[in-house]
Amino acid sequence: MNPDSRKIRLILDLRRAGITDPVVSAAIERVPRHLFVPTAFAEKAYENTALPIGCHQTLSAPIVVARMTQALDLGDRMKVLEVGTGSGYQAAVLARLCRRVYTIERHPDLLREAERRFAALGLTNITARPGDGTLGWPEAAPFERIIVTAAAYDVPPVLAQQLAEGGIMVVPIDDGSGSQTLLRVRRGAEGLDTEDLGPIRFVPLIAARPTAS
């Protein structure tokens, strides 16, 4: 089965799994996931599974990317902050749906590879930098949307402060026992409202920035 056939099958699987937003499905269909995985895993790129990308990190399963993207309820004029660039796949999907993506990655080696992919795909509306994602990107705030691709133990307060009024943050939360829940956080005039979107699984959100290998 060629990559196009695998991609079509994946999109059908996502629809059956509850991804009902055709704009999100179209964005996922337009991003070549096989370019965001190590060569050894290229044959599995369009399977609905997480894949290793190095630095003890993983590329989330397509259903997780789709769930989180759909939960953001994106508009094409929005500015989005992503915490945890990884391979760059989630940012590439977001870039098809919004005006500008700001993405932060704590592993410089992963970030360099992601930026190379962005350039190869002509994704000029992504701005990336290495650093501590828990600190957000204050000079570019506020953001209409924030997506966190690692599990925190609570809604990160600095990121919440950088969320625009009326904005949405999607973040995995670990309850301390290893159980994780995906939350949708909305910032209203009187504070934050949270909505439980069900179980999920991510690597932990870590503040410290490692040195390049």
β partners of residue 194: 185
Token pair of 34, please? 């096989």
Angle, CA of 127, 70 and 173, to the nearest 5°: 80
- The question of whether 60 is a catalytic residue gets the answer yes
Catalytic residue among 5, 25, 60, 213: 60
Within 10 Å of residue 61's Cβ, how many Cβ atoms? 15
Is residue 185 within 8 Å of 161, Cβ to Cβ? no
Nearest to 203 by CA among 18, 52, 46, 4: 52
Q: What is the dihedral angle through the alpha carbons of 54, 56, 57, 62, rounded to the nearest 10 degrees?
A: 90
Give the residue numbers marked as catalytic. 60
